[in-house]
Structure 1
């Protein structure tokens, strides 16, 4: 299976003062998964195999619920190319 990119944003329904704490827990799921990732101001992008990355997204949603979210809206973007695609090839020209 090719290496792909999955970006996702979790939006947990929690009291405002708790939102960042719950989102941080979702990002911790990504960190512990051991995949290549980058955290941005609006979403987290990961690199790996599709099935593994989607499992990480599901775990991130679940940790939000376990942290008290009544509901979790998740926005997912998938960049799939049969020969694979990396985060580096997308941003290389912007980093010098």
Structure 2
């Protein structure tokens, strides 16, 4: 297993998810919801890359603007789990850095 601390990722994921959960419906429908879904999907792709060829191919579905914060949280914590359980520490560090940058820009 990779010795990579995912505490910063967990905190960034929760902060972004909470921001999405606090938005009004109009803000979510004007683009914040779609942007949040894209972040969730990117986090899922990162976890899938770490799970390797034997991991299930997953795509985060569009379940509506009201759940996008939860989708980000689930995807982010799944990525943190994948980072912590992979044997490829270099890939884990790369995925962690990419996820943190993605969340900073979002």
Q: Same fold (TM over 0.5)?
A: no
Query: If the length of structure 1 is used for normalisation, what is the TM-score?
Result: 0.40
Query: If the length of structure 2 is used for normalisation, what is the TM-score?
Result: 0.38
User: Which has the larger strand fraction?
Assistant: 1
User: Which has the larger helix fraction?
Assistant: 2
